Amino acid sequence: MSIINFFDKLEDKIRAKLSHYPIFYTIVGGFAIVIFWRGVWITADMLAENGGVWSLIFSGPGSILLSISVLLSIGLFVSFFVGDSILMTGLKKEKKLIEKTETEIRDELEVLEDVESRLDDIEEELDEMKNK
């Protein structure tokens, strides 16, 4: 578990620093994503070259059918291509998170913290009422 905690804390620190430089963050993230998918693509090509069922699965149409089936079955199809936050902001007619200023985000965080504090107070009062 200590390795998982180490990488979790490392990720938090890196994300906190990079979030102040969104364009650089985007470039680093984009590079890593492209390299990851390049590896997946090359592996699929290698499997397809083996012939047999692999060549059918990793053909163009086979890849499309396989990926759509998997993405739909695990609930990622729409959220991957459109994004949950895009859908939610569209339904609420809000700005996208990327369009919000740091001040707006901090203001929303303060409101949420206030609501959480009030809920904690209500919970304590309910517990006191139960005990009486």
The reported pTM is 0.51
| Structure token pair of residue 9 | 């804390």
pLDDT of residue 93: 67
pLDDT of residue 76: 78
User: Residue range 69-96: average pLDDT?
Assistant: 71
Return d(Cα 2, Cα 11) in angstroms, integer: 14
If you average pLDDT over every residue of the chain, what do you get? 84
pLDDT tens-digit series, residues 32-80? 999 999 999 999 999 999 888 999 999 989 999 999 999 889 877 777 6
